[in-house]
Amino acid sequence: MQVWTEIRRKVLVEKVPKRQICRDYNISFHTLSKMLENVEPPGYQQRPGERPRPKLGPFLGVIEEILRLDETAPKKQRHTAKRVFERRRDEHGYLGSESHVRRYLAENDHRHAEVFVPLSQPPGEAQFDFGEAVVEIAGVRMKAALAVMSLPYSDAFFVSAYPRECTETFQAAHDDSFEFFGGVPTRVVYDNTSVAVKKVLEGPNRELTTEFLRLESHFLFTHRFCSVARGNEKGHVESLVGYHRSNFLVPVPSFASFKELNAYLTRRCEEELDRTLRGHSETKRERLETDRAAMLGFPRTAFESRKVVYAKANSLSLVRFDRNDYSVPTTYAHQSVTVIGGPETVKFIAQGHLVATHPRSWDKAQTFYEPVYYLALLESKPGAFDAARPLEEWQLPACFWSLRRRLEVDMGPSGTREFIKVLRLLERHSMRDLRSAVERAVVMLSVNADVVDLLVRAKNETPVELFSLDGHGHLRSVHVESPDISRYRTLTAVNS
């Protein structure tokens, strides 16, 4: 460009003869004419029309047919440039090189790339999606499900992590997102997740799951589901899944629990609200206020994130839920129960009553026992006490084993059954209160389950002005006649 400018100045300003310029710069008269006609080098200009392809040309129709069929083929089973070349060579006798095929496909790739329409993003609307990321929880590296809800207008977002994508975590992610945003979006856009969609019908119609409808009925937002394989219709949240993974979770984070991980993610989402977006003068936090003004208010009652299934307890008093077995009291063996699974707990309902509660496990093929549930059965089968699987990992305080030895010495073979009766007091009292009573009982001269029960009750009773039978139902049948106090009057008269 420097030589170009210098030559133009000498000819057009300094009036140096053209013949001399050609001789001094060793250029042709044609090249000089081009310099004088253009203020800058015009660059390479291809002749109109397609370049001739003597070897590849006869096969272009076949290649175009392959590309057309690929549009309906699975994404991971479409033709690569190498595979297109091999088929042309093996099936049609193509004698050209692979590089010619690659060059042609690269030059024409834009013809098959989809073009998108920018979508309007009104305040108060949201998008939701699940993604995946590797995290380390309690020293175990695992794949976690990332739930992301975004508000395209303000670009505010909330991300939370769960052991797995399922109905319970889907609902919990919505509940937590709404709380973070300070309102309920008027409409949420989804892909066709099986958590919400039972069946994709014609056009925009969907057959929805009961639990998704319960979520929607509670918060009263509306929905819109993307067309099948058209995630770009919720492109805002699609891009945020990768953003969170690369910005919040690199390097792979390590936390003691998912609760700690989610506290960290919430803090990062809060920090993001102070950013200002390109093209805006307001921060995300300020624009979020406009979103909130357009949102719905919160319902009066809290939402319970859960999945309800119906099951039956087996002969071991175990109920299977989400690939794990949980124990219920033995009186409900062989009976139907309703299982309510939440993100943190699993509840079991039988005959209209809550009969068992367990912490939720996200592992599989595990069995979880509550030893107290088996004590009623063991009271009638004390010989199985030491071999009972539910009691193998039960860590009782040392004073309990001292009490057992004492009872077995004092009562002989029936001492084990009496000890089980003591343990059954855990059905009504806490371990802390029972332990305190047992510690007092082991130093008494005479002790049995009734004595321990009285010690627990005495500790928990509060002084009252009048005697109350509350908590002493066994005394209600006892009748005590009113005393005759006339003789005391005689004593009073004598003393006076």
pLDDT computed for residue 74 by the predictor = 79
Res 137 pLDDT > 70: yes
Q: Give the position of tokens 């109109």.
A: 48
Among 421-430, 433-442, 478-487, the minimum mean pLDDT is found in 478-487
Mean pLDDT across the stretch 70-75?
Answer: 77
Domain ranges of the chain: 2-37, 57-112, 125-294, 307-368, 383-475
Res 219 pLDDT > 90: yes
Q: Which residue has the higher pLDDT, 257 or 493?
A: 257
Res 279 pLDDT > 90: no
Residues in the chain: 496
- Name the burial class of residue 188, with classes exposed (0-12), middle (13-18) and buried (19+) by CB atoms within 10 angstroms of its CB: buried
CATH number for the segment(s) 125-294: 3.30.420.10
Q: Are 149 and 126 in contact (CB under 8 A)?
A: yes
The tokens describing 406, both together, are: 């004492």
Nearest CA to 382 among 414, 427, 409, 423? 414
Mean pLDDT across the stretch 252-262?
Answer: 95
Res 458 pLDDT > 70: yes
* Arithmetic mean of pLDDT over the chain: 87
Question: With bands split at pLDDT 50, 70 and 90, how would you rate the model's confidence at 342?
Answer: very high
Strand partners, 140: 137
pLDDT computed for residue 119 by the predictor = 56
Mean pLDDT across the stretch 360-377?
Answer: 95
pLDDT computed for residue 169 by the predictor = 96
- Name the burial class of residue 335, with classes exposed (0-12), middle (13-18) and buried (19+) by CB atoms within 10 angstroms of its CB: middle
CA 399 to chain centroid, in Å, comes to: 43
